[in-house]
Structure 1
Amino acid sequence: MNVDDLSWQASNNRGLSPKRVTLLLEHGHLDLVIQAAAERGEWFCAKGAVEELCRAGEFGRALEVIGPFVTIGWRTALWAKADILLWAGRTEEALDLVRPDQAGRASTAECRDFAELLARAERVDEAIDLLVPHIDGSWILSVLVEISEGQDRDERVLGLIAPHADSARQARGEGHWDYSLSDAQELQARVLERAGRADEAIRVLGQDIAGRCYLTQNTLTAYAELLARHGRLDELRELATGQDAHTVLDLYAGALRRHGRTEEAEVVMRTAIAADDWVGYRAWLSSALLRDGRLDDAIAVAEPGFGWYDCSNLLAPLVYPLLDRPEELLHLVEHPSVVPHHGHEEFRHWWRACALAGLGRVDEAITVAEADPRPWTHPRIVKADLLSTAGHLDAAAAELRALGTIKAREELCEILVRQGQAAEAIAVHPTVAEQRAAEPKPEPVPMGENGYSLEPPF
């Protein structure tokens, strides 16, 4: 175990990943997870075990688990230990463990993290005091709003936010785009709303929107959501049918649905499609129809977008909600309107194979997947996944054992856990050292005099 390996695990979700640790814990293997943390230096095992132990009130054991990670000097583990101490009611120990430099040399990030810890310790005034000198820093205003939620400090927070909200209005009015201020107006409205001053929040933010005195689209979205929360549908309709329709019409239609006006929401969006066949309108309506169980109608709305490029393509948003509904998924991928399109031909192979496997038609599924000229991973891993989906765990495990690659062993770990062989699952999973050794090494690229690459990505 060393700091470099731990940092690599944390930033890449490697080692025994959070998903696999959760699976082990759900199957009741806390002791094995603790053992893996100690013997293999598995950070996510330590993290998962600590959370489980703290929920059970076993703070002493949690401190034992995190101890070795703290000892080597990894600061992330030090913060995790502070969390345990705070959860155990040992507030002063927790705070002393990670307290920023009293001489004022602490970074904005350190002060932000410590302020969040202070707020959790119910010392919100100290937390606010700590943030005030850093209030011009990125994200500090939003942290200030978060930590003061429900703490009866709204008036103080409003006083701190107001100058920044005014500066944002002034910056836009003068043609300046200071994005460090971009969320100040919506945060001001959010605090006014939670302080019971929703009408004032709507009035102030509404004036900003009407005067185009805001810096980002997020502020416009926040205003539309504010109107929706307070049932101001007439004002929201006026906003949604003007020049900002692409940004907020879906919020208006969603508000209508929440108020039981489903048919009206559908008419609004179909009218918009007829007038301006924008991908966003079709995406919203097809997804809404799918949620209502109207798959054929959803396909009809989305079909013109099945051939659009990349993120504008509307097939994938229909596929993903159906991955655990194989009968409907098969209906979708075999629908006559679904044809090959820009770089997403996988629906004929992988998505169709998933549907067939989910219906128990595993031999057909494997045949379909094997016909893919560009498999997304090793064909034996694809085959094992389909076998697993169809419930043939022994056959899936046999495929992965025979392949024996790093990726195959990672996948095998999950199957073994599901088969009740958790100890073997952990043993077969590649170590962090094996995973790192298998990572492809980037090719060196020529650099220009300015220090930037001469080849893409620049």
Structure 2
Amino acid sequence: MVELQAGRGEWFCALAWARSLGEQGRQSDALEVLAPYLATGWWTAVEAAAELLEGWGRADEAIEITRVRMEARHPMALESYTRLLARHGRAEEAFTLLRPHISEPSLAAALVDVAAPAGRDEEAAALLAARTEHRCSDFPWCCRGLDRDTAIGLLATIRERQGRIDEAIALLRPDGNTLLNRKQLAALLARHGRLDELRAAAASDDSGHAVRQLARLLEELGDVEGAIATYRQPDRSGAHNPNQAVELAQLLARHGRGTEAIDVMRLQADAHNGDDWILHILADLYLDQSRPEDGLAHLDALADARGGEEYWDLYWMRLPLIAARDGVDEAIAQARAHPEGMTSYAAPHMAELLASTGRTEEAVAVLRPHALANRHDLAEYLIDLGRIEEAVAVLHQDKPRPPQPSTTTAWSEEPPF
């Protein structure tokens, strides 16, 4: 089926089939599958073919097809081409090509990466240092996107790579109020085990980056209590951040302290009643701790505090809890009784519940009336049942054929499928 669809303009089938043929040693056949897509000049196909060729040990061919697109001035080709060169012993050439493009962020990052194998770290550092003096007045227009903070971050990357850790830290610290540099600084401190400095950064960190890195490092070092305490500092400005609360709950759950994890998320749910992502995490924790009754009771209390209003986007997370307490059939019955229970967006939640207990045929039956809105879910269950042709028909229903892209241009962003 994949082979058949590959020849009918289905790009993802073509790519999967080409990869499969390559794994079987049929490289020529694989390239023939991709040839119609490559002929359009579509960059995605070029990039995929280059990746396959490189993986097969045919780097020169990968470089060549990428070079053609680069010379046609495709905006993404230069980075791919130079990175390919650097991976295959031509880093000097790559650096020379990238050097004039230091003002473009993605190409500046590529320049930093190829500078090491090219032995031109100091030259790259000098180019970036010149950019660190620039103060943006109209970002991104005045600096074409490579602002001072990005340049500092890239320069710090070079210094860290050279083993000049103190210099890298000093570069990132003066701009500590910049989110990008704070994130990089926290990761750098963690990588080099600079615990005291990381603790100092976490103490005044409202972005969460230093706190997260410190907690992760302490956990890796076996200091679980220290990691937990990092999130629980009451004098930290981000101590009540919902995202950090979730990280704390996950940390507690990983170490068998599920009840404490639930307590953390209950506080968040009470403070942010109606935030579905928080309630979803709380419901999952109750389920993981085999406490569906308590979970449903808490969700009921929160719903009452909202005046009893329970739209489907908040209601559906109850279903696994109801199923754990009363069985799947009761959960499905309650779901169908909900005012939105017969909608197309409610069907996937019921289908997932049925399929998770081995009742895939019933999951298919639930999705059938809403097939157009849920074609991917329905097709997946049909595939699980071995009904492949039926799944393909579902995916193709009411799917118009796209116009054929022009082949007269040097390159195209229009997918040939």
Flag whether TM exceeds 0.5 (same fold): yes
1:52-451 equivalence runs, <5 A: 52-100=20-68, 106=73, 108-147=75-114, 152-153=117-118, 155-168=119-132, 170-171=133-134, 180-181=146-147, 182-195=149-162, 197=163, 200-201=164-165, 203-212=166-175, 216-242=178-204, 246-272=208-234, 277-279=239-241, 280-306=243-269, 307-308=271-272, 314-318=278-282, 328=290, 330=292, 333-334=295-296, 336=298, 339-340=302-303, 346=312, 349-357=315-323, 361-374=327-340, 377-401=344-368, 403=369, 405-430=371-396, 433-434=399-400
The Cα shift of 1:78 comes to 3.2
The change in CA–CA distance for 1:404 and 1:77 in structure 2 (over 3 A counts) is same
| CA distance, structure 2, for counterparts of residue 42 and residue 223 of structure 1 | 44
Q: Structure 2 regions of 5+ residues with no counterpart?
A: 403-417
Q: Root-mean-square deviation (CA), in Å?
A: 3.7
**CA contact 2:128–2:155 (8 Å) conserved in 1:** no
**CA contact 1:63–1:84 (8 Å) conserved in 2:** no
Counterpart selection for 2:3 from 31, 34, 39: 34
**CA contact 2:354–2:363 (8 Å) conserved in 1:** yes
Cα displacement string for residues 74-110 of structure 1 (whole angstroms, at most 9, x for unaligned residues): 34323333333333344443333232578x7725532
| CA distance, structure 1, for counterparts of residue 277 and residue 347 of structure 2 | 29
The Cα shift of 1:300 comes to 1.3
Which amino acid in structure 2 is aligned with residue 364 of structure 1? E
| CA distance, structure 1, for counterparts of residue 91 and residue 40 of structure 2 | 32
Which amino acid in structure 2 is aligned with residue 66 of structure 1? L
Which amino acid in structure 2 is aligned with residue 163 of structure 1? L
Of 342-351 and 241-250, the range deviating more from structure 2:
342-351
The Cα shift of 1:295 comes to 2.2
The total of aligned residue pairs comes to 390
The change in CA–CA distance for 1:336 and 1:428 in structure 2 (over 3 A counts) is closer
What TM-score do the two structures reach when normalised by structure 2? 0.78
The Cα shift of 1:231 comes to 1.3
The Cα shift of 1:263 comes to 0.8
The Cα shift of 1:253 comes to 2.4
The Cα shift of 1:146 comes to 4.1
Q: Which has the higher contact order (CA 8 A, sep 6+)?
A: 2
Of 248-257 and 85-94, the range deviating more from structure 2:
85-94
| CA distance, structure 2, for counterparts of residue 435 and residue 316 of structure 1 | 39
The change in CA–CA distance for 1:86 and 1:59 in structure 2 (over 3 A counts) is same
Cα displacement string for residues 291-331 of structure 1 (whole angstroms, at most 9, x for unaligned residues): 223222112122232142787963344556x69x6664846
| CA distance, structure 1, for counterparts of residue 259 and residue 113 of structure 2 | 43
| CA distance, structure 2, for counterparts of residue 106 and residue 237 of structure 1 | 48
What TM-score do the two structures reach when normalised by structure 1? 0.72
**CA contact 1:413–1:426 (8 Å) conserved in 2:** yes
Q: Which residue of 1 aligns with 2:405?
A: none
The Cα shift of 1:233 comes to 0.4
Cα displacement string for residues 248-303 of structure 1 (whole angstroms, at most 9, x for unaligned residues): 22322222222111112222322336876531443332232122232221121222
